[in-house]
Structure 1
Amino acid sequence: MKQTMLKLTKIALLAAASLAVLSACNNEQASTPKEAAAAAESAMTASKVDGVRFIEKVTRGEGDDFVIPYEKYALDNGLTVILHEDHSDPLVHVDVTYHVGSAREDIGKSGFAHFFEHMMFNGSENVADEEHFGLITEAGGTLNGTTNTDRTNYFETVPNNQLERMLWLEADRMGFLLPAVTQRKFEIQRATVKNERGQHIDNQPYGLVGEKLNEALYPEGHPYSWQTIGYMEDLDRVDVNDLKDFFLRWYGPNNAALTIGGDFDRDQALSWVAKYFGSIPRGPEVGEPEAPTFTINKNRYLSYEDNVALPLIVMSWPTTTLMDKDEAPLDVLMSIIGTGDTSLLYKNLVKNGLAVQAQAGHGCQELGCTFTVNALPNPSGGASLADLERIIRETFEEFEERGVSDADIDRFKMRIVAGKVFSLESVSGKVSQLAAYQTFFANPNLSTEDIARYETVTAEDVMAAYEKYLKGKPGVILSVLPKGKALAPAKPDNWTYTPRTLPEYQPLSENDLEFRMATDDFDRGEKPPVGPAPEIHTPPIWRDTTPNGIAVLGAENNETPTTALQLQIHIGQREEPLDKLGLTALTFAMLDEATTGASKEELSGRLQRLGSSVSIGAGDDYASLVVSTLTDNLSDTLDIAAAKLFSPAFKEDDFKRVKNQFLQAIAQKEKNPGALADDVRRLLIYGGDNAFANADMGTADTISAITLDDVKAFYEVKVRKARAQIVVVSDLPQTKLISEFSAFAQWKAGDAKRAEIHAFPALETDAIYLIDKPDAAQSEIRIARRAMLWDAAGEFYKANIMNFPLGGSFNSRINQNLREDKGYTYGARSGFGANDYAGAFTASAAVRANATGPALTEFFKELDAYRKDGATDEELAFAKNSIVQREALAYETPGKKIGFLSNMLTFDLEPDFVDDQRAALNAMILADVKFLARQYLDKDDMIVVIVGDRDLILNDLTGFGRRIIEIDASGAPMAAQ
């Protein structure tokens, strides 16, 4: 695989466009006798399984670098089955995708597709409430579901011994869901969806942009004119029978694709699929959706006010459809206009300080795509939204004059190529591609063709697409204005939202529904057994040291020709003076600007042509330089990384721009209730005398006070003298990698001392700290205390085992209470976090505003009960099973391996620390849980921080016997009651 994949850097992919396939109706074409024999074997095997029809087998041949091998089958009931075997890790990934999203909802019944995603996790005829989450979590797996305009998918990644049980679970909710759907479950999940909307849309700065934009862009009734989450008034006007009707219409096996990837036996998997899915009756026939046609006759201007720090302009135009011939040229245009530091918008708006950020996007969906430009003006630049609109339009004119260069196309092509390679690093990534291609095009084998359409894009194609869809074409121009600032929109509104014309609601009874029943010759109520858990081994690890003394910890990964590297520099916010908070983050942001030999734009262009990324950032204790690249391009990528690290230009213009971006980001962050609650919690626990207790980006006052000389001095005195370490995962061997690290030969670490940790403050545990956020749809709750320091297998590790039943999983007591039983929140959790000098316990949730007091009551009840009685036998067994089995998923991708190695390097661990953890886990008994719970879960030792609408929630907070201390975003008291 490696030798053929290395040809990617030459962009020599056109020959692969012939697709290494394919045949239908049991007539596979294979290019070698070995493949022909395998095809015959597949067909023979499938014929032995009643109700299973072999369709095709796809293999990877020479030059077919992006082909994902698979076998495709169909059941008699119309279910498509795709199998991709990958035996590199002892895990399987199962995906069931239904070809239904919000675009197939009825007028007045928006949000049903997303609502049903929630209902599908709440039990079926043979699976108890919350058992779906419980079984997968206990197995050490991960799971989720997602909904968009055009499809809904459900997926899980589990150890390979769990496959039969996963198929049983997915089949039960496909064929046997409705007997378990009750009005009570409907009400609970309706509340959960409302909380999700409140947390992610109504309570988020700019959260309503998508909804406002689509209402203006599409005509009333167009399937994309509403958001996937829907209108809450639609969910309020319906009942459980409407939801059942939606399921019966769209959730048949003939509207679904089951894709299995990973370490499994093909024949066994097929027999399980036939057993559990084969008897599920077909649903109504489903045709391909049609894209409605519409026109926008003139520019539509609209605006609204929001609780934001900066105004925003968004300009949007309808374009083509997914995989249309014009999609790729428009994507290239998007890159030229507004993607990254090489774009025209960066040059015309960001580089010169007129905007904090400006970018373009081209989002494609099944029935339509949109080309979008957005920009946030920089207050110090003096540009209004009208100015930004004018400059954006002039940018398109500039593009028209300059045309499209070969470099423009090459940069974009390489990004597409590299992205495809990186997507092959995980089984879930490969399965997702197969499932998506099958769902929308009935052909899983489109990866190579997908790449090829970008390979063949020409400058003429890009210009033609621009003229067809954008040049002189009217669109939607949305202005988002900060409340109370009296700023003007781009232009006065000439379009206003007209309330929807909804059909009269006709309630359904169960007699109106056409139920489908399956007949089986086995008992579905009997839970399938699981085989022995796979034996897990940590990846082979090697240690080395570069000639200049940088410690290196590495692992080899031969599944893809990629290299992931992280240079850790032992410097962080902990080292900053209090009057210059944010200095570390600002310094490392400057390392991502121009070097003495090249501009930021030139460096960005080089990275794009390599298909590589180099990111730089800083936290409390470490700064890091992270590299991701195709291995063929490692040397060139490390040269760029080294230039950023060792030769920063520290230009005054760059500094002014970056500093201003920090100031605007700080202002924006103060408008985000969740981020604000986290920052204040941290400050109160660790105290303002410790730099690390503050936000990494500093405060407006401290950033304003930092000079370029401060940055230069910090770089020379602190950064260049800090200890550096490297973690790396690559398909290259150790000796070759060490020679590549000569790029870092200039690093000469000194003996910079770590900053002193000042005494932590006494906690005001008799208080509730309240930060007022007028009109907040939700309240952010944080309940916290200081706790133990980090350790690998000691008290910290055991405390998180103790916490698992309380707040460490979806099935935890806190989440089940606040989300599933009460409907107060979209999610609630608790846990311990620590490093080698500070640690804390935190319980948290975003709850609907009118449930703030009751939610806090339930938090306290759960803490008290768990502290008093600890866990049950069943809860502890559940936690142990989940924690020990999830190791099967821990080392799959280079990113996961990097995280594992980084942890080892940070805390100076040997690989056998996982053995110590297993021993500690196995030895944990109920008495240990109770001891740790009594030691760390006393609510009277905890502070409470709440960010919400004071006028709405204050009365609910007065009955807890705690003082109410009103504070501002910096944690400073405003008033006391």
Structure 2
Amino acid sequence: MTSRNSFKMLAIFLFAIAFTMTSCKNEKAEKAEETAQLSIDFEKYELENGLDVVLHQDKSDPIVSLAIQYGVGSNREKTGRTGFAHLFEHMLFQKSENVGEDQFFKKIQDAGGTLNGGTWKDGTIYYEVVPKNAMEMIMWLESDRMGYFVNTVTESAFYNQQEVVQNEKRQRVDNNPYGHTNWVLDKNLYPEGHPYNWQVIGELVDLQNATVDDVREFYDRFYGPNNATLVLAGDFEKEEAKQMIEKYFGEIKRRQEVEPLKPQPVSLETTKRLYHEDNFATAPQLNMVWPTPEQYTEDAYALDFLAEILSQGKKAPLYKVLVKEKELTSQTNAYNNAQELAGEFHIRITANNGVDLKKVEEGIFEAFQLFEKEGVTDRDIERIKAGLETQFYNGISSVLGKSFQLAQYNVFAGDPGFIEQDIENIKKVTKEDVMRVYNTYIKDKPYVMTSFVPKGQTDLIAANSEKAAVVEEEIKENVIKTVTDSNEEIAKTPSKIDRSVEPKQGEAPKLTIPDTWTAELSNGMDVYGIEQNEIPTVNFSLVIEGGHLMDSKDKNGVANLMTDIMMEGTANKTPEQLEEEIELLGASINMYTTNESIVIRGNTLTRNFDETMKLIEEILLEPRWDEEEFGRIKTKTINEIKRSDANPNVVANRVYDKLLYGEDHIFSYPISGTEEAVAAITMNDLKEFYNKNFSPSISTFHVVGKIDKEEALKSLRGLEERWAAKDVTIPEYPVANNRDKASLYFVDIPNAKQSVINIGYIALPRTDKDFYPAEVMNYKLGGSFSGNVNLILREEKGYTYGARTGFSGTKIPGTFTASSSVRTNTTGESVKIFKDEIAKYKDGISEEDLEFTKNALIKSNARRFETQFSLLGMLQEMSSYDLPPNYIENEEKVIKGMTLEQHKELANKYLDESKMAYLVVGDAATQFAQFKKMGFDEVKLLNKEGEEVTLEDVKM
């Protein structure tokens, strides 16, 4: 389940949808036609009990999405009783009167579907995507938790989810650099009692003090049908769907009436300046927030534009002053967060290491002066709108995306079709509006400012700052609380139908693999394509083999710097000009390095694909080698490497790779490089890498979208003619599982509120005949939410927000890894549970568990080909491992044919807990000593570089 941070993405998604009228067409008829194309057809009606129902048919894939949004977020809570909406989101996944413990996830996965939920300040949403034959089942499940749930809220079930939510808070907030920032900002921006004064996840003390009666009362108030919107999208027949909705939801009684909340914008009389010494941060960070109006207001739209103009791209004033001129940071970020009740305009600057935040604050105001001087141009407004048609289509490429949009507009605007008004509101924004809102809300206005600095570096805080009242949780000994429920049978709420009987599912949709085409260009580059005409966009990727494998150990990080420098202009375009060319096409292009490749990834409208490919050609074949940008990139990379030391998950993965692959393998070195290596890299190193390792002979182009083979190849003609092949040798490194003991390694992160656990060893490559069977074998151990390790560590014990296991292999042997982040005082027990469950799994699983695995993996293929992005992934997998177009059919045969004996044989062949590396990254002072008594063959304390140290070295 997700909380507010994840649902910020929903807000961004809706914002993107709003900017759909972005073309520069002049004729009214063309604009009217485009508006029609950008609408989403729907039917809305209301049940007698007040439930809003929205239906949208989309028969492009044999799947349906059901989303139910309730008008309750943390804004419905009270001081001292915070975190209830998010806690309740978790509670509703446990059980209901007619659905057993932990069966929501299991039943959806067994049907081949996926599900989740999320809570943010203004709402809560639950959703499922399943093959269409399971539509009635999800109606049954969702209606049961809407109307037949509250009697199942027992003390033990409630206590378990209290623990899970507290661990989510530790993982997202307490154990993360800058994790307490939003708490400090909201406490000081919003007065006591304002619905935005507290965090969605709530205060630990409130979560700990909550009672079952509190939960029952909250449910009765806010989770009735008259406070909800149901959206069904996908492949269904309307009359049949309406009958099902009436059958399962129609009899649920109305509950308390929920009055809509009125906007509550705030104002500040004076600027508030606060600081906090952050236990995990290695670089200082400055946040400035101004109060602004709520969503859908005229000024909120203009403030979105203002944030973009101030911070995004090389023309932005904040970038020019803070990055280019003063070199105080490598990235600038501003955004306007318009919500149901109030808005906030944010500027967030993570400074380079050791930078005084006083200078950052001064630089921000210098950028404001530059903005006032340069003003806003019509071209700025046009540039912002240019890419949003593409973003709109991307947002509605899935039935779930359309469900989200329709639900959100219905709840917050009262009309699922509000998109058209939203578009009109956006189209009205002018350059004068942008300057007006700047003068109204930002210029010379009070704000809340936070300075988060590393421990002991208070000299870096902004002037006149006061210490923020952040409450840090103490690490205490784990006390197991035993909660005993009464033996009374759960009372069943009366129903017109027998809800104890799960609806039967019809025949599952048959696997239909999209047609693929291939070609080989005259320069040796392979091309893979799929024509998909649902939306007028194209997604593509150019994969050049090699990547990090081409790095030398003494100059580690060259490949990564290559992908950064090549996006900084071309021989004929400055970095600023290239950026603008991409934006004006409404395209996105990015370049990145993986262990085994360099990838250029793009997304554009079909009508602009040819022009986009000309830019790709120019980027690839005419590098600019801009020395000034190279210096900035190096500084940015070095600072990111330093900051990564503050992230326990990054530290864990880095040390884990070093332990497993060994110092002689390039994979034991991070892709980004080390501080020393990056500092020593020169532009000549990059040119040498480029001249030696970039060739069409080791490259593959993948294209998916509303474009046929002929048109795609035509747009690739320039690359074919201009890019000559050369011989490239990709280094090979020996990889073997040569571990012969169970070793416990511990990396100290003082005062960590959670321990990051990685357990495993080298396993097998993706090309091995056993790789996919091994993935199937792993599914019930930890390959899904219903995996054994997650059910124990999260659902039974409440020690973690999630636990998993899995195989990762490419052409090079990957790892088997079991991982989780657990509450600090449960570290030892959690490691033991992992070890025991891996050992127990080799005894074999039940016929029921094997059947669950088969259903979940086979039936989920109905969702596998829905979006262009997923189809692009399929092409990349085919080309990387030389798989036939029907390789997914072959995978299904593996699943269907697996027996209990084969499953057990695979588990014994690839799971050996007695020879794994057990890595723990956490608080050594309280957790390290116990492992010397737990029967490991060796126990070692390491530093963040993976080197053995003593207790004295870490100054415990």
**TM category, shorter:** over 0.9
Going from structure 1 to structure 2, the CA distance change for 1:816 and 1:518 (only over 3 Å counts) comes to: closer
Q: In 2, distance between residues paired with 1:439 and 1:78?
A: 13
Does structure 1 residue 934 correspond to structure 2 residue 908?
A: yes
Unpaired runs of at least 5, structure 1: 19-60, 500-509
CA contact (8 A) 1:765 1:944 kept: no
SS at match of 2:804: strand
Q: In 2, distance between residues paired with 1:600 and 1:650?
A: 10
Going from structure 1 to structure 2, the CA distance change for 1:516 and 1:561 (only over 3 Å counts) comes to: farther
Return the match for 2:627 from 652, 677, 692: 652
Residue matched to 1:363 = 337
Q: Residue 240 of structure 1 aligns to which amino acid in structure 2? A: V
1:364-384 superposed Cα distances (whole Å, 9 cap, x missing partner): 2111111111112224xx852
Does structure 1 residue 790 correspond to structure 2 residue 756?
A: no
Residue matched to 2:845 = 871
Residue matched to 1:54 = none
Q: In 2, distance between residues paired with 1:124 and 1:493?
A: 50
Residue matched to 1:715 = 690
Does structure 1 residue 147 correspond to structure 2 residue 119?
A: yes
SS at match of 2:44: strand
Indicate the RMSD between aligned Cα atoms, in angstroms. Answer: 2.1
Residue matched to 1:622 = 597
Superposition TM-score, scaled by structure 2 size = 0.93
Going from structure 1 to structure 2, the CA distance change for 1:374 and 1:710 (only over 3 Å counts) comes to: same
Return the match for 1:350 from 323, 337, 341: 323
CA contact (8 A) 2:735 2:813 kept: no
CA contact (8 A) 1:572 1:622 kept: yes
CA contact (8 A) 1:9 1:632 kept: no
Q: In 2, distance between residues paired with 1:554 and 1:748?
A: 22
Q: Residue 147 of structure 1 aligns to which amino acid in structure 2? A: T
SS at match of 1:117: helix
Residue matched to 2:860 = 886
Does structure 1 residue 277 correspond to structure 2 residue 249?
A: yes
Return the match for 2:174 from 168, 184, 202: 202
Identify the range of structure 1 (587-596 vs 86-95) with the bigger mean alpha-carbon deviation. Answer: 587-596
Q: In 1, distance between residues paired with 2:229 and 2:637?
A: 46
CA contact (8 A) 1:776 1:948 kept: yes
CA contact (8 A) 1:92 1:159 kept: yes
1:791-810 aligned at under 5 Å gives the runs 791=767, 794-810=769-785
Identify the range of structure 1 (347-356 vs 362-371) with the bigger mean alpha-carbon deviation. Answer: 347-356
Q: Residue 366 of structure 1 aligns to which amino acid in structure 2? A: E
Q: In 2, distance between residues paired with 1:320 and 1:646?
A: 47
> How far does residue 155 in structure 1 lie from its aligned partner after superposition?
0.3
Q: Residue 848 of structure 2 aligns to which amino acid in structure 1? A: E
CA contact (8 A) 2:555 2:677 kept: yes
Return the match for 2:588 from 592, 613, 616: 613
Q: In 1, distance between residues paired with 2:466 and 2:742?
A: 54
Does structure 1 residue 543 correspond to structure 2 residue 518?
A: yes
Q: In 1, distance between residues paired with 2:46 and 2:27?
A: 31
Q: Residue 393 of structure 1 aligns to which amino acid in structure 2? A: F
1:746-794 superposed Cα distances (whole Å, 9 cap, x missing partner): 22232211102135484373321110000100000111011122138x3
CA contact (8 A) 1:6 1:632 kept: no
Q: In 2, distance between residues paired with 1:887 and 1:309?
A: 44
Residue matched to 1:484 = 456
Return the match for 1:333 from 302, 306, 314: 306
Does structure 1 residue 768 correspond to structure 2 residue 744?
A: yes
Residue matched to 1:39 = none
CA contact (8 A) 1:322 1:366 kept: yes
Q: In 2, distance between residues paired with 1:568 and 1:401?
A: 44
Residue matched to 1:505 = none
Identify the range of structure 1 (966-975 vs 84-93) with the bigger mean alpha-carbon deviation. Answer: 966-975
Going from structure 1 to structure 2, the CA distance change for 1:854 and 1:518 (only over 3 Å counts) comes to: closer
1:838-917 aligned at under 5 Å gives the runs 838-867=813-842, 869-917=843-891
Residue matched to 2:5 = none
Going from structure 1 to structure 2, the CA distance change for 1:128 and 1:7 (only over 3 Å counts) comes to: closer
SS at match of 2:364: helix
1:409-463 superposed Cα distances (whole Å, 9 cap, x missing partner): 0011123332212212111111111000001111000222212222121111111
Q: In 1, distance between residues paired with 2:799 and 2:903?
A: 28
CA contact (8 A) 1:784 1:944 kept: yes
Q: In 1, distance between residues paired with 2:347 and 2:388?
A: 21
Residue matched to 2:7 = none
Residue matched to 2:221 = 249
CA contact (8 A) 2:265 2:343 kept: no
Return the match for 1:299 from 247, 253, 271: 271
Q: In 2, distance between residues paired with 1:909 and 1:17?
A: 44
1:551-581 superposed Cα distances (whole Å, 9 cap, x missing partner): 1100011111100000010121112111111
Q: Residue 750 of structure 2 aligns to which amino acid in structure 1? A: P
Identify the range of structure 1 (620-629 vs 291-300) with the bigger mean alpha-carbon deviation. Answer: 291-300
SS at match of 1:830: strand
Q: In 1, distance between residues paired with 2:548 and 2:767?
A: 22
Q: How many residues align?
A: 913
CA contact (8 A) 2:266 2:291 kept: no
Q: In 1, distance between residues paired with 2:27 and 2:105?
A: 42
Residue matched to 1:9 = 23
1:539-578 aligned at under 5 Å gives the runs 539-578=514-553
Q: Residue 769 of structure 1 aligns to which amino acid in structure 2? A: Y
CA contact (8 A) 1:415 1:608 kept: yes
Residue matched to 2:927 = 953
Residue matched to 1:176 = 148
1:61-140 aligned at under 5 Å gives the runs 63-140=35-112
SS at match of 2:625: coil
CA contact (8 A) 1:95 1:435 kept: yes
> How far does residue 588 in structure 1 lie from its aligned partner after superposition?
1.3
Identify the range of structure 1 (694-703 vs 163-172) with the bigger mean alpha-carbon deviation. Answer: 694-703
Q: In 2, distance between residues paired with 1:614 and 1:855?
A: 42
Going from structure 1 to structure 2, the CA distance change for 1:15 and 1:524 (only over 3 Å counts) comes to: farther
Going from structure 1 to structure 2, the CA distance change for 1:7 and 1:975 (only over 3 Å counts) comes to: closer
Does structure 1 residue 744 correspond to structure 2 residue 758?
A: no
Q: In 2, distance between residues paired with 1:916 and 1:976?
A: 53
Going from structure 1 to structure 2, the CA distance change for 1:149 and 1:743 (only over 3 Å counts) comes to: farther
CA contact (8 A) 1:721 1:751 kept: no
Residue matched to 1:25 = none
> How far does residue 6 in structure 1 lie from its aligned partner after superposition?
12
Q: In 2, distance between residues paired with 1:107 and 1:864?
A: 47
Q: In 1, distance between residues paired with 2:342 and 2:491?
A: 34
Q: In 1, distance between residues paired with 2:203 and 2:366?
A: 37
Identify the range of structure 1 (344-353 vs 157-166) with the bigger mean alpha-carbon deviation. Answer: 344-353
1:10-63 superposed Cα distances (whole Å, 9 cap, x missing partner): 356988999xxxxxxxxxxxxxxxxxxxxxxxxxxxxxxxxxxxxxxxxxx774
Does structure 1 residue 534 correspond to structure 2 residue 548?
A: no
SS at match of 2:733: coil
1:645-684 aligned at under 5 Å gives the runs 645-684=620-659
Q: In 2, distance between residues paired with 1:633 and 1:310?
A: 41
Does structure 1 residue 754 correspond to structure 2 residue 730?
A: yes
Q: Residue 244 of structure 2 aligns to which amino acid in structure 1? A: W
Does structure 1 residue 604 correspond to structure 2 residue 579?
A: yes
Going from structure 1 to structure 2, the CA distance change for 1:948 and 1:496 (only over 3 Å counts) comes to: closer
Identify the range of structure 1 (920-929 vs 356-365) with the bigger mean alpha-carbon deviation. Answer: 356-365
Identify the range of structure 1 (960-969 vs 139-148) with the bigger mean alpha-carbon deviation. Answer: 960-969
CA contact (8 A) 1:300 1:495 kept: no
CA contact (8 A) 1:721 1:752 kept: no
Q: In 2, distance between residues paired with 1:62 and 1:516?
A: 55
Does structure 1 residue 309 correspond to structure 2 residue 282?
A: yes
SS at match of 2:408: helix
Q: In 1, distance between residues paired with 2:25 and 2:422?
A: 14
Residue matched to 1:29 = none
State the percentage of identical aligned residues: 36
SS at match of 2:294: coil
Residue matched to 1:51 = none
Q: In 1, distance between residues paired with 2:181 and 2:695?
A: 43
Q: In 2, distance between residues paired with 1:494 and 1:304?
A: 9
Residue matched to 1:319 = 292
Q: Residue 37 of structure 2 aligns to which amino acid in structure 1? A: D
CA contact (8 A) 1:417 1:451 kept: no
Going from structure 1 to structure 2, the CA distance change for 1:62 and 1:637 (only over 3 Å counts) comes to: closer
Q: In 2, distance between residues paired with 1:539 and 1:204?
A: 42
